A and B are shown apart, each in its own frame.
Chain A
Amino acid sequence: MFIRHETIEKNVILMVVLTLITVSIGGLVQIIPLFTIESTIERVDGVRPYSPLEQMGRNIYVREGCYLCHSQQIRPFKDEVERYGPYSLAAESMYDRPFQWGSKRTGPDLARVGGRYSNDWHVAHLVSPRAVVPESVMPAYPFLAQRKLDYADIADHLKALRAVGTPYSDEMIANARADLVAQVNPDADPTALLKRYPRAVVGKFNGQSEAITELDALIAYLQMMGTLVRFGDLPPERLRQ
């Protein structure tokens, strides 16, 4: 025998090295194909990086821990598809860093919440959930409507995301502040914003305040969620993994 049982068991370094090799084979067999299999991320049109305002809203979503009660993943089961809409695609989470799929549904799944309710409803509901849904157990977030959005460093957020692989262009980073302000101003011309971020929802999301609040950013994020891929035009074979 090339390596004796006893030799391994009595030599800690050798045992650690051999253990690591054994464990990493198991890991690599599972992980490497995820990067190389072409069907993992479906080839669909429409998914784009988050607009600066949506990205700030997403940061608030992460900060408040929304994922602890709300999943963002509609599974391919009949009951879920009937309730929430088309099942989530891997492609739709392509620019999620970190992803917010969640693993628990105390509240409903939010993967397709975009466009489902009016901005006014989101304001009323986030400020006081039980004012609109009496049976809700969600905490209230009235402070989001008061707190001004701190977006001085928005360009840095986009740069950091670019460093880990999100394809923000130089133009997007240079215009980050302008795009953020434009998305929350219904009177501004949204052409440049929509060219960079197609299908972005423009509006004064929080009608209760003239300033740009954290609530504006969060609602902008919620209103785009799950709206980028047009499922009607998608042939089913494109979705087969």
Chain B
Amino acid sequence: MPTKIEKDVLSGQDTTGHEWDGIKELNTPLPTWWVYTFYVTIVFAVVYCALYPSWPWFTGHTQGLLGYSNRTELTRELDAQAKERAAFVDRIRAASLADIRKDPELFNFAMAGGRSAFQTNCMQCHGAGGAGNTGFPNLVDDDWLWGGNIDQIYATIQHGVRNADDNSRQSLMPRFGADGILTAPQVAAVTDYVLSLSGHGKATPEGAKIWQEQCVACHQADGKGNQELGAPNLTDGIWLYGGDRDSIYRSIFFARNGSMPAWGQRLDDATIKMLAVYVHSLGGGR
């Protein structure tokens, strides 16, 4: 409570009237620009509170005159974007994969969309350029586990490999060593046989015998594999889990059985079609 406002002799300003042990305080006015900025912020706050959701109450909050909600806003933005893309996306949805490849305009759109979806969803396993990694197939070469024509690629992306999707690619190589189907020396013998299929090392008659008994059902007598079962071609020197003797031994002893998610459960059909077109065009598509 100001008691005695005086004029300060040195500065010519009024004092506040407060006094602490003989020390008095000057009442210097705030700069005008600051004061008016402050008033503007008050007006802004009042207008903002009226227009947007702002004040909470016990069971709800004010909705604001504009009815804004960032979730509704997002839905609106996504709808607008879908409409913008619809010209192409609807055609892609309707067209067959073969037709998309034939129509240069659609093909360009599918390549751009597929590339973008690949960089978001696929590159973590298959690499940014699609060259794969140990355990994650190379998509640039022409060696395919489950088939390299565009419809097969589409089905693999849509349903994935060895997952819980009803139509996923399924097959299960036995754990020949770990489950006691073959002894360690027998696994070693058939490892040598497998190596000899691609021209490395020498096979023993025992290895050939085990090969005939255990492996030909899926990998075929000539070792060229079977894409119906995802059984890889063992003659081409392309190895998903390493081609040295130790890696192949482990592949037979423990089996590998890699898996891939069913992207149909996450991405819409048009995106999967664009991905199929993109992956097919990476270099190895049949």
Contact = CB atoms under 8 A, between A and B. Distances in A.
Interface stretch (A81-89, A167-175, A188-196, A211-219): A81-89
A38 B135 contact: no
B125 A33 contact: no
B37 interface: no
Contacts of B70: 76
Interface string A132-161: 111100000000000000000000000000
Contacts, number: 89
Interface string A114-140: 011111110011000001111100000
B23 to A, nearest CB: 13
B30 interface: no
B60 A78 contact: no
Interface residues of B, number: 37
A36 B78 contact: no
Interface stretch (A18-26, A44-52, A54-62, A233-241): A233-241
Given A116-B261, A124-B135, A241-B71, A38 B59 contact: yes
Interface in A3-54: 4-6, 29-30, 32-34, 36-39
Given A120-B258, A120-B259, A240-B72, A83 B56 contact: no
A112 B266 CA distance: 11
Most B CB contacts (10 A, CB to CB) among A83, A117, A119 go to A117
A240 B69 contact: yes
Interface in B160-196: 163
Q: Interface range on chain A: under 10, 10 to 19, 20 to 34, or 35 or more?
A: 35 or more
Contacts of A115: 261, 265-266
Given A33-B57, A36-B59, A132-B125, A118 B259 contact: yes
Nearest to A34: B56
Contacts of A32: 56, 58
B15 to A, nearest CB: 14
Contacts of A131: 133-134
B56 A81 contact: no
Contacts of B107: none
Interface in B57-90: 57-61, 69-75, 77-78, 81
Given A33-B56, A37-B59, 11 more contacts: A5-B1, A33-B57, A37-B56, A38-B59, A76-B73, A77-B74, A78-B77, A115-B265, A117-B261, A120-B259, A236-B75
Interface of A: 1, 4-6, 29-30, 32-34, 36-39, 76-78, 81-83, 85, 87, 115-121, 124-125, 131-135, 207, 236, 239-241
18 contacts: A5-B18, A30-B56, A32-B58, A37-B58, A38-B60, A76-B73, A76-B74, A81-B78, A115-B266, A116-B121, A120-B259, A121-B136, A124-B135, A131-B133, A131-B134, A132-B136, A134-B127, A207-B254
